[in-house]
């Protein structure tokens, strides 16, 4: 058996109800590693990128990395990769929890879902025994009920990754939920799964993941854990307040998107800050598989409002999506909305962004009264009832308005004649950072291969979060292209090897390379690792280009480029994108239309195919 990888993938033909085991393409594994890179390589090879994302031609790939399932710090991740029903670009959504390692223990690096099942099914992977199980009785159930029911029918220790009703109804930003509270959140991967009539993948694995150099791997793991324990970002901020630790900082800078990015500061930010959460509603921490950071918030509503529930969350992005971006400063409501999104199986970021643009459209009078009447409460910023009601409506596609919500903020805004009010890129909602306060983020959002996203060029690492002496001026456009490109490559590496992005705050790429080498026995180098990241990025770009995306899609809405933002540390700022974009293309070795040149592809050993 190979080291790190299991060397086997499971190909699931849902049309014919047949599952087969294949050898992993090791040549691709060496070039693309695993997870994001390897899954994208298979997707690029096996589907026509111009096919409809909700058609049987789409493939949904669940891909682990070679480190997934080992005790490498944060080595528990997997990715869900497909063509996105939201953006029509490549989708690559990352999740933690415990499902990924279980797949490795069952003996598979990857599961490829193809075609479409005639009837609702779920997949039951019990080591080497794979069954298609009837899921009629599960269709319509939320993710929690569904998991409980599947475990009763399979194995109490089975790990489950699947969709809620939103995915069944093909909500374009429906997500995949595993272990009840972890999400492969973005880009509507849940809808792609739903369109194949598959409710979930249940897996139980009692096998092993092996490593090549046990002694050295062990030493590196302990040394890396020490780095994590000594880094204030991982050990204090993330462990103490979770990702929510960013709320107060972003607000003081003037970067916290409020009321659909109309402002960068929220007067009620303190109510929903990481400190407030830790002081009032946090029961304890939780950690994903093999994680020494343990940042997850295990919470419960205060009991003092009408919102009642308990579960995991909220993350910073959720506080923005269901909170500040909708003008909602009621913590219990944000919690309740978070739990609802987990049960329904919807991305909290896009759900929030969609409601926020709907609120702005309503306040400006662009939505007819009869459409608004379907909601039953005022669709205006600050109305938590409206947020929660919209979450329900968008899950089941209730009425005309629910149906529009489920199509996502861009299509909804376009329907009402004002697509320019949608705050996103490639039809995917931005994350919780106003790019007018951090220009690098603007470039990251615009060039992200999966649309508006902070994880594709997380400029904070070189702008606001960098130590003063290393910091690039957040308000400057110069020099951002090179920095963003490097961040994009680093992220691709982490996303492919199976570790969580947060480990990278303490564990540098050099160490990731060593962990990869001692685990798999494959030799590589720091330079090669960078090249792998660049290769992955370019392959994603090729997929998108063949799907029909062009330079026009590397864009930001006019609010970002034409409406100055002020507040906090921000004074009259807009994003001057064109200059950054031109430099970005030049440095990447792409032509003016954003197509990778033949030289670039050859250097990266990519056959355009």
Partner 1 sequence: MILAHPEKCVACHLCEGACSFFHDGAFQPAKSRIFVHDFVDEQTYVPVTCFHCADAPCLSNCPTYAITRDADTGQVAINDDKCIGCKMCMVACPFSVIGFNEDKNVSHNCDFCGGDPQCVKICTYDALEFTDFESNDWMIRLDEAERPKAEA
Please, are residues 16 and 515 in contact by the beta-carbon 8 Å criterion?
A: no
Of the pair 105, 433, the CB lying nearest partner 1 is at: 105
Of the pair 229, 275, the CB lying nearest partner 1 is at: 229
With b for 16 or more beta-carbon neighbours within 10 A and e for fewer, the 152-185 pattern comes to: eebeeebbbbbbbbbbbbbbbbbbbbbbbbbbbb
Of the pair 67, 404, the CB lying nearest partner 1 is at: 67
- Longest CA pairwise span in the chain (Å): 68
Find the shortest distance in angstroms from Cβ 288 to partner 1: 7
Of the pair 89, 209, the CB lying nearest partner 1 is at: 209
Which residue has tokens 């009642």? 308
Residue ranges of E strands in 412-504: 424-425, 428-429
Of the pair 119, 283, the CB lying nearest partner 1 is at: 283
Find the shortest distance in angstroms from Cβ 178 to partner 1: 12
Q: How far is 603 from 607, CA to CA, in rounded Å?
A: 10
Q: How far is 358 from 327, CA to CA, in rounded Å?
A: 13
Find the shortest distance in angstroms from Cβ 267 to partner 1: 31
Q: What is the DSSP string of 245-289?
A: GHHHHHHHHT-S-BTTTTBS--TTGGGGSHHHHHHHTEEEEE--T
Of the pair 44, 71, the CB lying nearest partner 1 is at: 71
Alpha helices of 80-169 — where are they, by DSSP H?
99-106, 143-153, 165-168
Of the pair 151, 551, the CB lying nearest partner 1 is at: 151
Reduce the DSSP state of residue 91 to 3 states and report it: strand
Find the shortest distance in angstroms from Cβ 340 to partner 1: 16
Q: What is the DSSP string of 126-146?
A: ETTEEEEEE-TTTTT--HHHH
Please, are residues 99 and 178 in contact by the beta-carbon 8 Å criterion?
A: yes
Find the shortest distance in angstroms from Cβ 573 to partner 1: 40
Of the pair 1, 26, the CB lying nearest partner 1 is at: 1
Find the shortest distance in angstroms from Cβ 205 to partner 1: 8
Give the CA count within 13 Å in the CB-facing half-sphere of 246. Answer: 25
Find the shortest distance in angstroms from Cβ 452 to partner 1: 31
Q: How far is 401 from 405, CA to CA, in rounded Å?
A: 6
Of the pair 296, 560, the CB lying nearest partner 1 is at: 296
Structural tokens at position 97: 């929890």
Find the shortest distance in angstroms from Cβ 209 to partner 1: 4
Of the pair 339, 422, the CB lying nearest partner 1 is at: 339
Please, are residues 93 and 187 in contact by the beta-carbon 8 Å criterion?
A: yes
156's CB contacts (< 8 A; 6+ apart) are: none
Of the pair 28, 98, the CB lying nearest partner 1 is at: 98
| CA–CA distances in Å: residue 462 to residues 254, 465, 469 | 18, 7, 11
Find the shortest distance in angstroms from Cβ 238 to partner 1: 12
Find the shortest distance in angstroms from Cβ 309 to partner 1: 11
Of the pair 282, 462, the CB lying nearest partner 1 is at: 282
* Backbone φ, ψ for residue 126 (5° rounding): -115, 90
Of the pair 144, 530, the CB lying nearest partner 1 is at: 144
Find the shortest distance in angstroms from Cβ 105 to partner 1: 7
- Interaction site with partner 1 (CB under 8 A): 69-71, 98, 101, 105, 179-181, 205-211, 214, 218, 222, 225, 228-229, 283-292, 294, 296, 298, 300, 310
Q: Is residue 569 packed enough to be buried (19+ CB in 10 Å), middle (13-18) or exposed (0-12)?
A: middle
Find the shortest distance in angstroms from Cβ 286 to partner 1: 5
Find the shortest distance in angstroms from Cβ 349 to partner 1: 23
**Sign (positive/negative) of CA torsion 276, 277, 279, 285?**
negative
- Rounded to 5 degrees, what angle do the CA atoms 69, 452, 36 make? 25
* Backbone φ, ψ for residue 573 (5° rounding): -110, 135
Closest by Cα among 249, 381, 383, 261 to 316: 249
Find the shortest distance in angstroms from Cβ 108 to partner 1: 15
Find the shortest distance in angstroms from Cβ 300 to partner 1: 8
**Sign (positive/negative) of CA torsion 153, 154, 159, 162?**
negative
Structural tokens at position 124: 């039951």
Of the pair 101, 594, the CB lying nearest partner 1 is at: 101
Of the pair 205, 442, the CB lying nearest partner 1 is at: 205
Q: How far is 182 from 174, CA to CA, in rounded Å?
A: 13
């Amino acid at each position: 058996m190979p080291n790190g990888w299991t060397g086997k993938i499971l190909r699931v033909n849902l049309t014919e109800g047949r599952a087969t085991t294949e050898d992993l393409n090791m040549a691709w594994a060496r070039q693309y590693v695993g997870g994001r890179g390897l899954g994208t390589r298979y997707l690029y090879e096996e589907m026509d990128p111009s096919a409809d994302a909700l058609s049987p031609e789409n493939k949904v790939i669940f891909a682990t990395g070679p480190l997934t399932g080992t005790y490498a710090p944060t080595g528990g991740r997997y990715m869900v990769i497909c063509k996105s029903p939201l953006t029509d670009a490549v989708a690559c959504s990352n999740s933690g929890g415990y499902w990924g390692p279980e797949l490795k223990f069952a003996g598979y690096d990857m599961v490829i879902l193809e075609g479409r099942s005639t009837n609702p099914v779920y997949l039951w992977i019990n080591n080497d025994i794979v069954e298609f199980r009837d899921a009629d009785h599960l269709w319509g159930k939320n993710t929690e009920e569904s998991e409980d029911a599947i475990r009763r029918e399979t194995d109490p220790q089975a790990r489950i990754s699947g969709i809620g009703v939103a995915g069944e109804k093909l909500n374009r930003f429906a997500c995949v939920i595993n272990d009840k509270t972890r999400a492969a959140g973005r880009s509507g991967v849940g809808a792609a799964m739903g369109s194949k009539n598959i409710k979930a993948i249940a897996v139980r694995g009692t096998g092993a993941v092996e490593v090549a150099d046990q002694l050295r791997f062990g030493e590196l793991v302990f040394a890396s854990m020490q780095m994590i324990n000594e880094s204030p970002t991982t050990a204090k901020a993330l462990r103490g307040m979770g990702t929510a630790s960013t709320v107060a900082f972003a607000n003081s800078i003037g970067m916290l998107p409020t009321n659909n990015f109309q402002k960068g500061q929220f007067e009620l930010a303190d109510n929903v800050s990481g400190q407030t959460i830790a002081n009032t509603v946090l029961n304890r921490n939780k950690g994903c598989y093999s994680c020494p950071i343990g940042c997850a918030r295990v919470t419960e509503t205060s009991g003092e409002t009408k919102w009642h529930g308990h579960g995991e969350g909220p993350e910073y992005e959720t506080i923005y999506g269901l909170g500040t971006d909708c003008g909602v400063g009621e913590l219990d409501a944000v919690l309740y909305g978070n739990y609802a999104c987990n049960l329904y199986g919807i991305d909290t970021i896009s759900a929030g962004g969609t409601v926020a643009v709907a609120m702005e459209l309503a306040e400006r009078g662009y939505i007819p009264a009869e459409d608004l009447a379907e909601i039953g409460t005022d669709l205006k910023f600050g109305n938590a009832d409206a947020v929660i009601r919209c979450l329900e409506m968008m899950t089941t596609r209730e009425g005309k308005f629910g149906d529009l919500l489920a199509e996502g903020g861009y299509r909804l805004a376009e329907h009402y004649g004002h697509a320019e009010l949608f705050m996103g890129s490639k039809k995917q909602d931005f994350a919780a950072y106003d790019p007018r306060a951090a220009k690098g983020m603007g470039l990251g959002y615009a060039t992200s291969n999966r649309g508006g996203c902070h994880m594709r060029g997380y400029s904070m690492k070189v702008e606001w979060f960098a130590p003063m002496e290393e910091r690039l001026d957040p308000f400057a456009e110069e020099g951002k292209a090179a920095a963003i490109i490097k961040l994009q490559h680093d992220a691709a590496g982490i996303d492919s090897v199976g570790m969580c992005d947060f480990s990278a705050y303490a564990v540098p790429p050099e160490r990731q390379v060593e962990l990869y080498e001692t685990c798999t026995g494959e030799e590589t180098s720091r330079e090669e690792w960078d090249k792998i990241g660049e290769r992955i990025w370019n392959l994603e770009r090729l997929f998108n280009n063949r799907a029909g995306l062009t330079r026009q899609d590397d864009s930001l809405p006019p609010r970002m480029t034409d409406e100055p933002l002020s507040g906090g540390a921000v004074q009259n700022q807009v994003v001057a994108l064109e200059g950054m974009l031109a430099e970005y293309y030049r440095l990447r070795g792409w032509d003016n239309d954003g197509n990778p040149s033949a030289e670039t592809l050859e250097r990266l050993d990519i056959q355009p195919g």
